[in-house]
């Protein structure tokens, strides 16, 4: 793609990076076939190629974009299916991130939009505030029909019951069972700690059972993904730096084999910390080191091997491949292989590359499109005939739970069960 940035513009390292990405695009359009919003809406501007043109024009002119341009870029799920498809290896992930940051810098959103984004950015990364918000949402559910689309979507996503904080999430050290094979830090996350406490608990049991010393680092928090995808760069960088410092303290006390992450949306961002902080000379090296240690829990378990106990009558599992796992981290076969090794029969739905519509806060900010994607995904999941759906991302889990007709659990919950842990809640 031909670009027309001035020499002065290219002196900005962010524009220079965007220019390099833009010039790799060959306009082939292969990306449109796998883009969820293009598949649904059929609009060129709601596909990656169209959005690339919009971002190019927006960055070249430097002017505030129109509301129409912002709408099309907001509709991008950041599912990264286009990145998997692209024959020219266009780095769309970082390009759309730059486009969103530009919008945040120069575009004034409507007041209600600004308020909703500010609330989400403040509440969701804070487990305490988020738990209180969910209690309020449960009380407000009877009024859901009276509320506008986005607020209605927020209430619909709120779980029926909220558990208290898990003791597993407090800073501490869990000793390995038997000979210590690895020393790892576990990222406990933010929203997941509130929505499904069982996931971190199952992860600790699974890792310690397989010879890992598991450390919950003091000072870690939200990975920064939520505000990063809103274009709030400074906020995201601050959250990333807090995590880097927390895990560096763990590494200073002894060899650290991995920073284990059990929410693939978080993992995609943590693995990208080196890029996020590449222009910050005081942090880029530190960020790159932590990013190199970041591993999804299935990567660690693939290295350790699953010590499954023979069992009969395990349910057939339908595996839903989260976009951040499949496209963001390229972890396609590992989760399924681990489940098979643990004794489960594993099935995969049709169109595994298409997003379920969760995508962070997308199902709140774009409820109509998210609902259509969810319905399509659920139909494909049901057709497999599985007795349980497994996935590796809390967003997908919450998006699908309650509507598939079978329990939806995290992959580690099944692996924990198969290797001696408790049966996941809801399974017959």
What is the spatial distance between Cα 408 and Cα 150, in angstroms, rounded to a whole number? Answer: 24
**Looking at the structure, do residues 354 and 374 belong to the same domain, yes or no?**
yes
Q: Which residues of 393-404 are buried (b: 16+ CB within 10 A; e: fewer)?
A: bbbbbbbbbeeb
What is the spatial distance between Cα 23 and Cα 8, in angstroms, rounded to a whole number? Answer: 18
Per-residue pLDDT at 269: 98
Per-residue pLDDT at 129: 93
- The one-character DSSP state at 272 is T
Q: pLDDT tens digits, the chain, 428 residues: what are they?
A: 999 999 999 999 999 999 999 999 999 999 999 999 999 999 999 999 999 999 999 999 988 999 999 999 999 999 999 999 999 999 999 999 999 999 999 999 999 999 999 999 999 999 999 999 888 877 777 777 667 677 777 777 777 778 889 999 999 999 999 999 999 999 999 999 999 999 999 999 999 999 999 999 999 999 999 999 999 999 999 999 999 999 999 999 999 999 999 999 999 999 999 999 999 999 999 999 999 999 999 999 999 999 877 677 899 999 999 999 999 999 999 999 999 999 999 999 999 999 999 999 999 999 999 999 999 999 999 999 999 999 999 999 999 998 999 999 999 999 999 999 999 988 87
In a domain, 343, yes or no: yes
In a domain, 1, yes or no: no
**Looking at the structure, do residues 175 and 287 belong to the same domain, yes or no?**
yes
In a domain, 180, yes or no: yes
What is the spatial distance between Cα 150 and Cα 135, in angstroms, rounded to a whole number? Answer: 18
Per-residue pLDDT at 426: 85
In a domain, 425, yes or no: no
Question: What would the DSSP string read from start to end of 70-130?
Answer: HHHHHT-----HHHHH-TT---HHHHHHHHHHHHHHH----HHHHHHHHHHHHHTT-HHHH
Chosen domain end from 128, 157, 186:
157
**Looking at the structure, do residues 276 and 350 belong to the same domain, yes or no?**
no
In a domain, 24, yes or no: yes
Per-residue pLDDT at 164: 87
In a domain, 426, yes or no: no
417: phi then psi, degrees, rounded to nearest 5 = -60, -45
Per-residue pLDDT at 148: 67
Q: In which element (H, E) is residue 187 found?
A: strand 182-187
Per-residue pLDDT at 313: 83
Cβ atoms of 199 and 394 within 8 Å: the answer is yes
How many structural domains compose the chain?
Answer: 4
**Looking at the structure, do residues 174 and 297 belong to the same domain, yes or no?**
yes
- What residues make up the domain containing 293? 167-301
**Looking at the structure, do residues 369 and 336 belong to the same domain, yes or no?**
yes
CATH number at 384 reads 3.40.50.1860
**Looking at the structure, do residues 140 and 178 belong to the same domain, yes or no?**
no
What is the spatial distance between Cα 279 and Cα 274, in angstroms, rounded to a whole number? Answer: 9
**Looking at the structure, do residues 230 and 281 belong to the same domain, yes or no?**
yes
**Looking at the structure, do residues 358 and 264 belong to the same domain, yes or no?**
no
Whole-model pTM: value is: 0.93
Contacts of residue 289, defined as CB under 8 A and 6 or more positions apart, other chains included, come to none
Chosen domain end from 238, 269, 301:
301
**Looking at the structure, do residues 250 and 234 belong to the same domain, yes or no?**
yes
**Looking at the structure, do residues 51 and 127 belong to the same domain, yes or no?**
no
Cβ atoms of 418 and 309 within 8 Å: the answer is yes
CATH number at 85 reads 1.10.1060.10
In a domain, 322, yes or no: yes
What is the spatial distance between Cα 108 and Cα 110, in angstroms, rounded to a whole number? Answer: 7
In a domain, 349, yes or no: yes
How many residues comprise the chain?
428
**Looking at the structure, do residues 231 and 150 belong to the same domain, yes or no?**
no
Chosen domain end from 80, 106, 132:
106
Return the CA Rg of the chain. 21
**Looking at the structure, do residues 201 and 295 belong to the same domain, yes or no?**
yes
């Amino acid at each position: 793609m031909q670009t027309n940035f001035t020499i002065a513009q290219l002196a900005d390292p962010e524009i220079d990076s965007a220019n390099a990405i833009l010039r790799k695009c060959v306009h082939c359009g292969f990306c449109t076939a796998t883009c969820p919003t293009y598949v649904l809406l059929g609009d060129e501007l709601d596909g990656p190629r169209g959005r690339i043109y919009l971002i190019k024009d927006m960055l070249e002119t430097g002017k505030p974009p129109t509301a129409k341009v912002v709408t099309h870029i907001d509709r991008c799920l950041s599912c990264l299916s286009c990145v998997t498809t692209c024959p020219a290896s266009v780095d769309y992930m970082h390009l759309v991130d730059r486009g969103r940051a530009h919008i945040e810098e120069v575009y004034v959103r409507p007041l209600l939009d600004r308020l909703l984004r500010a609330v989400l950015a403040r509440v969701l990364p804070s487990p305490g505030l988020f738990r209180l918000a969910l209690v309020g949402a449960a009380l407000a559910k009877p009024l859901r029909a009276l509320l506008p689309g986005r607020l209605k979507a927020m209430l619909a996503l709120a779980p029926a019951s909220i558990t208290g904080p898990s003791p597993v999430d407090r800073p501490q050290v869990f000793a390995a069972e038997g000979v210590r094979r690895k020393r790892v830090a576990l990222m406990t996350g933010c929203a997941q700690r509130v929505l499904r406490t069982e996931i971190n608990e199952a992860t600790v049991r699974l890792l310690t059972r397989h010879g890992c010393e598991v450390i919950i680092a003091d000072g870690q928090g939200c990975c920064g993904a939520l505000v990063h995808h809103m274009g709030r760069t400074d906020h995201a960088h601050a959250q990333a730096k807090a995590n880097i410092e927390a895990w560096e303290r763990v590494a200073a006390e002894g060899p650290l084999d991995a920073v284990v992450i059990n929410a693939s949306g978080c993992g995609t961002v943590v693995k990208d910390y080196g890029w996020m902080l590449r222009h910050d000379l005081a942090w880029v090296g530190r960020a790159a080191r932590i990013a190199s240690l970041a591993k999804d829990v299935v990567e660690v378990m693939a290295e350790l091997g699953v010590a499954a106990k023979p069992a009969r009558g395990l349910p057939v599992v339908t595996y839903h491949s989260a976009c951040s796992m499949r496209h963001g981290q390229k972890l396609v076969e590992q989760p399924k292989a681990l489940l098979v090794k643990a004794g489960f029969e594993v099935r995969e739905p049709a169109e595994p590359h298409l997003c379920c519509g969760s995508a962070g806060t997308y199902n709140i900010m774009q409820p109509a499109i998210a609902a259509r994607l969810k319905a399509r995904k659920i139909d494909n999941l049901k057709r497999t005939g599985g007795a349980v759906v497994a996935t590796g991302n809390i967003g997908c889990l919450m998006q699908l739970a309650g509507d598939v007709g079978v329990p939806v659990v995290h992959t580690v919950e099944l692996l924990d069960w198969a290797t001696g842990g408790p049966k996941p809640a809801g399974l017959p």
